[in-house]
Amino acid sequence: MKLLVVGGGGREHAIIRSLKKNPSVTEIFALPGNGGIAQDATCVPIGATDIEKIAAFAVENHIDYAVVAPDDPLVLGCVDALEEKGIPCFGPRANAAIIEGSKVFAKNLMKKYGIPTARYEVFDRLADALRYLDTAPIPTVIKADGLALGKGVIIASTREEAKAAVRDMMEGHVFGASGDHVVIEEFLTGPEVSVLAFTDGQTVKPMVSSMDHKRAGDNDTGLNTGGMGTVAPNPYYTPEVANRCMEEIFLPTIAAMNAENRTFKGCLYFGLMITTDGPKVIEYNCRFGDPETQVVLPLLESDLLTVMRSTTNGTLAETEVKFADKHACCVITASSGYPTSYKKGFEITFTPEALAHTYIAGAKEENGKLVTSGGRVTGTTAVADCLEDAIREAYRLSDGVRFEGAYRRSDIGKRALQALK
């Protein structure tokens, strides 16, 4: 089988390495991929949002199955375009990807169908938002409606900060049109859990849970990033919490999307907070998380391609989705300065052992060398029987990833370890 994977980050590298384990796979094209993914797939310089070119490439190259991994092509209708050309795909159509593409849509869906989430108000006019903030409970959370590279969420601990955030979004357009509508919501507290789930629109099979580390600095300080590391499973996701999530969140969300004629197929990501009132949805993503995927897929014992195709064919109920009873830890190595400003173009070297355990994200090939080209450069994953060993091994291996200005948090998994004890 010839496969196509749209995207070019660490998540896509992890997906490609998993797909390659299926012996029927003869070739994988990554559009655009990156200099590191090139070890495992044929990279083609077509951008992930260049949907017409992606569809034309798939037809010309007789692609048997396509995986659309990132949010923006999904929201822009990449799956729809490929399906129109007769190419079966993993991922939701645009009308279902809106669950991530519009926070207003997601919040209204949860309200309509009684799915637990933070209380909220939606504003289309700056004056109304400012007036509401005069009396809103503080801290409060301000979210731009559309995709904003994970940066469209502001947690304001004072009224002034909250007002400045809505002004920035609605008047300053710092997130472009994403800020034309804003959600102002209740600030929730509790441990966060990421659950990625396969679904064919009827059946939902959650993957092993995980914990992201979103802040740039140790002990969860500094700015929010795309994610500085992950562990799986997440100790806060107990069997009791998992049962409640299935009954109160996962199944109702699938049913709600069907009732809205927006059947969701692919991977639905539930960003959850385990509050004293029970689990609540912080966000939905219409795709695999990054770097959650880099710990979840290494624990998958079933064949990824088989599971993915079952979500397309509607046969997920009969398909086994099994995870190893082990622990995984992924440590991101970033360019120093990330997530604000950082330099690029530094040569990256690996010990052979580190290379075998590392997914490559912000890197490109230049004159036969691999050089940094982004903020999050690599993710190094170790799997072990206990969390402590997985963490130690992920750090030992990531020491073998070197480039000028390489930065890692030193405490990935620490909170999870404390929770286990």
One-character DSSP codes across 49-86 = T-HHHHHHHHHHTT-SEEEE-SHHHHHTTHHHHHHHTT
290 binds, among ligand AMP, ligand GLY, none (CB under 5 to 8 A by kind): ligand GLY
Span near ligand GLY by CB under 6 A; candidates 28-36, 163-171, 283-291, 391-399: 283-291
Question: Do β-strands 211-212 and 204-206 pair in parallel, antiparallel, or remain unpaired?
Answer: unpaired
Per rule CB under 6 A, is residue 375 in the interface with ligand GLY?
Answer: no
Question: Hey, how many other C-beta atoms are within 10 angstroms of the C-beta on 320?
Answer: 11
Partner in contact with 285, chosen from ligand GLY, ligand AMP, none, beta carbon below 5 to 8 Å by kind: ligand GLY
Restricting to residues 145-164, name those near ligand GLY by CB under 6 A: 150
Footprint on residues 201-230 left by ligand GLY (CB under 6 A): 212, 227
**Nearest CA-CA partner of 264 in 274, 255, 277:** 255
Of positions 285, 319, 333, 398, contacts ligand GLY by CB under 6 A: 285
Q: Among residue numbers 265 through 294, which ones bind ligand AMP (CB under 6 A)?
A: 271, 282-283
72 binds ligand GLY per the rule CB under 6 A: no
DSSP string, 169-225: HHTS-TTGGGGGSEEEEE---S-EEEEEEEESSS-EEE---BEE--EEEGGGEEEE-
Find which of ligand AMP, ligand GLY, none residue 339 binds, CB within 5 to 8 Å per kind.
none
Residues 345-374 that bind ligand AMP (CB under 6 A): none
Cβ-contact 269, 150 below 8 angstroms: no
Cβ-contact 257, 96 below 8 angstroms: yes
Q: Which of 12, 80, 145, 292 binds ligand GLY (CB under 6 A)?
A: 292
Q: Is 12 in the site for ligand GLY (CB under 6 A)?
A: no
Q: Find the shortest distance in angstroms from Cβ 210 to ligand GLY.
A: 9
Pairing of strands 2-7, 65-68: parallel
Q: Whose CA is closest to 302, among 317, 323, 288, 287?
A: 323
Positive or negative: CA dihedral 210, 216, 220, 222: negative
Q: Which of residues 95-154 bind ligand AMP (CB under 6 A)?
A: 118, 141, 150, 153
227 contact choice in ligand GLY, ligand AMP, none (CB below 5 to 8 Å, kind-dependent): ligand GLY
* Torsion over CA: 186, 192, 194, 200 (sign): negative
Pick from 192, 248, 260, 389 the residue near ligand AMP by CB under 6 A. 192
Q: Which does 188 bind (CB under 5 to 8 A by kind): ligand GLY, ligand AMP, none?
A: ligand AMP
Q: Quick one: tokens of 94? A: 């645009």
Q: Residue 50 or 283: which CB sits closer to ligand AMP?
A: 283
Q: For helices 251-259 and 103-112, what crossing angle results, to 10°?
A: 100
3-class secondary structure for 9-41?
A: CHHHHHHHHHHCCCCCCCEEEEEECCCCHHHCC
Site string for ligand AMP, 150-189 (x = CB under 6 A): x--x-x-----------------------------xxxx-
- Binding mask of the shown chain, residues 226 to 265, with x at each position contacting ligand GLY by CB under 6 A: -x--------------------------------------
Size of the site for ligand AMP (CB under 6 A): 14
Q: What torsion do the CA atoms of 223, 225, 228, 230 make, to the nearest 10 degrees?
A: 110
Question: Of 33, 92, 289, 375, which one interacts with ligand GLY (CB under 6 A)?
Answer: 289
Task: Give the phi and the psi of residue 15 in degrees, each rounded to 5.
Answer: -60, -45
Sequence-distant (6+) residues with CB within 8 A of 410 are 218, 395
**Any contact of residue 222 with ligand AMP (CB under 6 A)?**
no
Measured from the CB of residue 289, what is the shortest distance to ligand GLY in angstroms? Answer: 3
292 contacts which partner out of ligand GLY, ligand AMP, none, CB within 5 to 8 A by kind? ligand GLY
Q: Which residues bind ligand AMP (CB under 6 A)?
A: 118, 141, 150, 153, 155, 185-188, 192, 214, 271, 282-283
Q: Which residues bind ligand GLY (CB under 6 A)?
A: 150, 212, 227, 285, 289-290, 292
